[in-house]
Amino acid sequence: MTDRVRDRKPLLLDVDTGIDDSLALLYAAASPDLELVAVTTVAGNVPLVQVAANTLAVLELAGRRDVPVFLGAAAPLRKPLRTTEETHGPFGIGHATLPSGSTALAGGPSARAIVAAARARPGEVTLVTLGPMTNLALALELEPDLPRLLRGWTFMGGAFRVPGNTTPTTEWNLFVDPDAAAAALAAWGRAIDADPSIPRPLGMGLDVTERARLLPGDVARLAVAAGISTADAAELAAASPASPLLAAGPVAGDPILHFVVDALRFYFEFHAANDGFYGAFVHDPFAVAATLDRGLVRVERAFVEVETGPGPAHGRTVADWRGLTGRTPNVDIAVDGDARAFIDRLVARVGALASARSRRRA
């Protein structure tokens, strides 16, 4: 085994594949320091069947048909599913279209796949949940010792010291299935109480992910990294609400670039209408990048629980910053991050993947 292979971090991604999950999958496929063990799917941004179709198609686009994809929970633990096509488009990938993947889903449910991966390689696999935590909660019912069997867990979710993006207090993933999030965080809390050597999960909430704004100039740089000339990429850099981001010319001829540009155009339009800038928050790939390189974020530890009751705080992540409860901290909460370094890395890695795939097709 070479040092390069030995140094790769085994990751299992749990996704509800919308636009930023797609970018996270591409980032994972492009990362030489990551071993993508499997991908599990959960209903969230769009219904489960569409999530699975998107996931298979994006992995095929990235040249990763070898990665097993498992079908997961179609609904939250206790409440009806709410999806967000207004944010991610009718099929979850914005204005983009992808051919149906030719790869079949792996057998068995996602929860069982998470448990199997952890048992097969105890202390090695890190789980990254990028959507509602339903699959993880179900996996914990099958294997309560999961916090000890996993090397670690990163979750994209929560709003700790900032407003929510779904309600005034709550981030989307936590809103969709707060019961699952509450169960998962409680399980880690119990495990850490019993064994303080168990690592706290990394919480990548809106506090840090909304600092990572992908802008038209970044998309142009990604195109250049993929081998597109600076002149051909210039139109991407100049995109605005009046002159939308469009895949044309050589950009349209590169399948990964074409997909990224068409998907992001919908995201850019959404953020222009709702957040006052023509660009996009890229939450999910930032969570993957910080899992691989904790130097990208600064964390503060706290005991966190989730409000599951009705009312304006439904799904809120409640962090005990002052230790008033006397409970042992159960989350490393990302409170600051080097968003520019992450965006630069996203641009370089996905651009290199597009370039490599283009050369292979030539």
Q: Is the pLDDT of residue 2 over 50?
A: no
Q: What are phi and psi of 296, to 5 degrees?
A: -75, -15
pLDDT band at 360 (very low <50, low <70, confident <90, very high): low
Q: Which two tokens stand for residue 250?
A: 């050589």
11: containing domain: 3-198
Q: Is residue 357 part of a domain?
A: no
Q: Where are the alpha helices (DSSP H) in the chain?
A: 3-6, 19-30, 48-61, 85-88, 110-120, 134-142, 146-149, 172-176, 178-194, 206-209, 216-225, 230-237, 250-253, 255-274, 283-292, 339-361
Q: Mean pLDDT over all residues of the chain?
A: 96
Asked if 7 and 107 sit in the same domain, the reply is yes
At 288 the three-state DSSP class reads helix
Distance (Å, whole) CA 308 – CA 316: 8
pLDDT for position 3: 41
Read off the CATH number of the domain in which 99 is found: 3.90.245.10
Confidence class for position 4, pLDDT limits 50, 70, 90: very low
Based on the fold, state whether residues 42 and 184 are members of the same structural domain.
Answer: yes
Give a yes or no: residue 29 inside a domain: yes
- Of the candidates 167, 198, 229, which is a domain's last residue? 198
Q: How confident is the model at residue 1 (pLDDT cuts 50, 70, 90)?
A: very low
- State mean pLDDT over 160-187: 97
- 25 domain-assigned: yes
**116 assigned to some structural domain:** yes
Give the pLDDT of residue 6.
56
Q: Residue range 117-130: average pLDDT?
A: 98
The mean pLDDT of 207-213, rounded to a whole number, is 97
State how beta strands 280-281 and 213-214 pair.
antiparallel
Is a pLDDT exceeding 90 seen at residue 5?
no
CA angle 54, 56, 59 (to 5 degrees): 105
Looking at residue 362, what is its pLDDT? Answer: 55
Inside any domain, residue 9: yes
CB atoms within 10 A of CB 142: 13
Number of domains in the chain: 2
For range 103-111, the mean pLDDT: 95
* Same-domain pairing of 117 and 164: yes
Residue 359: the pLDDT is: 72
Q: Are residues 231 and 193 in the same domain?
A: no
Above 90 in pLDDT, residue 273? Answer: yes
pLDDT digits (tens, 9 = 90+) for 285-339: 999 999 999 999 999 999 999 999 999 999 999 999 999 999 999 999 999 999 9
The structure tokens listed for 335 are 């409170």
pLDDT of 245 over the 70 cut = yes
Residue percentage of the chain with pLDDT more than 70: 97
Indicate the residue among 198, 230, 253 that finishes a domain. Answer: 198
Any domain includes 133: yes
- pTM for this structure? 0.96
Q: Are residues 50 and 179 in the same domain?
A: yes
pLDDT score of 27 more than 50: yes
CB atoms within 10 A of CB 278: 20
Same domain, 23 and 158: yes
Domain check: are 51 and 177 in the same one?
A: yes
**Does the residue 7 lie in any domain?**
yes
Shared-domain flag, residues 174 and 57: yes
Residue 102: pLDDT band (50, 70, 90) is: confident
The reply to whether 181 and 82 lie within a common domain is yes
Query: What are the tens digits of pLDDT across the range 76-91?
Result: 999 999 999 999 999 9
For residues 36 and 180, state if they share a domain: yes
The per-residue pLDDT for 7 is 79
Percent of all residues in the chain with a pLDDT value above 90, rounded to a whole number: 95
Q: Are residues 273 and 145 in the same domain?
A: no
Domain termination site, one of 247, 279, 311: 279
DSSP three-state, residue 295 = helix
Band the pLDDT of 248: cuts 50, 70, 90.
Answer: very high
**Does a structural domain hold residue 69?**
yes
**101 and 170 co-located in one domain:** yes
Burial degree of 359 (CB within 10 A; 0-12, 13-18, 19+): exposed
